Amino acid sequence: MTTAPQSPVREPAWPLSRSAIGLWVTEGVIASLGLGVGAALFAVFVPADAPAPFPVLRWLAPALVLVYAVVAIGIRPWVRFRVHRWEITGEAVHTLTGWLTRTWTLVPVSRIQTVDVTRGVLQQLFGLSTVSVLTASSQGTVQVWHLDADVAQRVADDLAHRAEQVRDQAT
């Protein structure tokens, strides 16, 4: 299945690090466990003979948690990995994110104000980093998620250096 003919704009060229799948699966497991505990508590503390909507919820809640777990652990990480793309061209940073709703973001190097590299706790486990590129616009922030840590650092240094040289003061 190729999404290329449907894309409104050009797809960035490079995929993320494969470790990102592991990270997303871990995130899905943690979220599912949290919800599962919530559903279990609900089943334990709500008495079986409670009025109208509660008996339905008693079996609906675990079912929903199960569906969520299957999607978040078994499907979403792989779909995300197929969709997510990034690319840094001569003059712009280009990303594609999302799994159902897709978002393409393009920011020119000349309008970059700051470049941040952040590493969350889980990201550190998988040796990944996020590169955030900030512009003068509150909505014009690009985040390249889950790059290999050394790649992220190189990218950030390169972008910061180039932004310094071609900075456009119009904004």
Tell me which H or E stretch contains 65.
Answer: helix 53-69
Three-state secondary structure call for residue 66: helix
For strands 142-148 and 92-97, give the pairing. Answer: unpaired
Segment near other proteins (CB under 8 A); pick from 14-22, 88-96, 122-130, 157-165: 88-96
111 binds other proteins (CB under 8 A): yes
The stretch among 55-63, 70-78, 128-136, 143-151 that binds other proteins (CB under 8 A) is: 128-136
Number of residues that bind other proteins (CB under 8 A): 34
Asked if residue 144 binds other proteins (CB under 8 A), the reply is no
Q: Is 118 in the site for other proteins (CB under 8 A)?
A: no
In angstroms, how far apart are the furthest CA atoms of the chain?
71
Position 8 contacts other proteins (CB under 8 A): yes
Decide: helix, strand or coil at residue 109: helix
Q: Token pair of 56, please?
A: 């339905």
Least separation in angstroms between CB 51 and other proteins: 14
Residue type, 161: H
Smallest CA-to-CA distance from 103 within 132, 70, 126, 80 is with 80
- Interface contacts to other proteins, rule CB under 8 A: 4, 6-10, 89, 91-92, 94, 100-111, 113-114, 134-140, 142, 170-171
